[in-house]
Amino acid sequence: MLRRDRHEPVPTADPEAALDALENRDIDLVVMETALPQHDGYRLGQQIRQLKPHVPLIVVSNRGDEEHVVRSLLAFADDYMIKPISPRNLLARVHSLLRRSGMEQANRSSDGTVVVGEISLSLHQMQVTVGHVKVPLTPREISLLSAMMMNPDRVLSRTQLIRLAWGDDFEGCLKTVDVCLQRLRKKIQPHLSGDGYIHAVRGFGYKIQRPARLSAPAQVGRPLTAANSA
């Protein structure tokens, strides 16, 4: 089905092969099963997310208990489908995630600048501009804002934000994310022409949302590739 839709599947038989493919091939999307015989599928999902923080990941699994689904979505998955599944439904979700991922890549210019609405972040100069005003931020605030801007419209848990922004060696508590985001809002909001972009999603985490009135630039891409460890 994926081949007929002009994708290039890279099937893998075990976690080691999947991680090797992600390290050595140009992979745009991962489809995986968490109920793996003799393997910890949840741990594999975490490893994939650590190795490739921005690659879309869909879980297609026999495990449908709510706790496992929620834990997977919070920890590493962008989408979760419970078997048996409709192939057309899977293909639609693949398209949706690749479209979102393409928009994120299109938001990143060749000079290392990431743009979400009126907020512009230069990754080379580590400078944030809101509208036409340069906003001084601390290194920790810039790292957190960068993690969110690289994943626009995606809800990220506090744990994910800590890992993406400050790394696995960060020794602070989850509350640090809340405090840092409060400071970010106070510094950025006065320079926006509309509502704030940073939103709390109760029970899940935070997201930075692109304003509806500002359309994302179109992507001109190469053939898409998917890795499948299901």
Are 76 and 156 found together in one domain?
no
Phi, psi of 139 (to 5 degrees): -55, -40
C-alpha dihedral sign at 16, 161, 213, 120: negative
Q: Does 173 score more than 70 pLDDT?
A: yes
Q: Quick one: 98 and 117 in the same domain?
A: no
Residue pLDDT, tens place only, 195-222: 778 999 888 889 988 876 543 433 333 3
The per-residue pLDDT for range 60-76, each reduced to its tens digit, is 999 888 988 988 888 88
Per-residue pLDDT tens digits for 104-128: 554 555 557 888 889 999 877 888 9
Looking at 65, 82, 106, the residue that finishes a domain is: 106
Q: How far apart are the first and last CA of the chain?
A: 15
Tell me phi and psi for residue 72, to 5 degrees: -65, -45
Quote the pLDDT of residue 141: 92
Do 117 and 90 lie in a common domain?
A: no
Say what the pLDDT of residue 126 is: 83
Question: Span 146-165, mean pLDDT?
Answer: 85
Instruction: Indicate the SS3 state at residue 116.
Output: strand
Dihedral Cα 95, 96, 98, 102, nearest 10 deg: 130
Judge whether 228 lies within some domain: no
d(CA 102, CA 226): 14
DSSP string for 68-102: HHHHHHHHT-SEEEESS--HHHHHHHHHHHHHHHH
pLDDT in tens, 85-102: 999 899 888 888 887 666
Does 135 lie in the same domain as 45?
no
**Number of domains observed in the structure of the chain:** 2
Q: Tell me, what CATH number does 131's domain have?
A: 1.10.10.10
Average pLDDT value for residue range 36-41: 84
User: What is the extent of the structural domain holding 175?
Assistant: 113-208
pLDDT tens per residue across span 15-36: 999 999 998 988 889 999 988 8
Count Cβ atoms within 10 A of the Cβ of residue 133 and give its class: 0-12 exposed, 13-18 middle, 19 or more buried. exposed
**How does residue 133 score in pLDDT terms, banded at 50, 70 and 90?**
very high
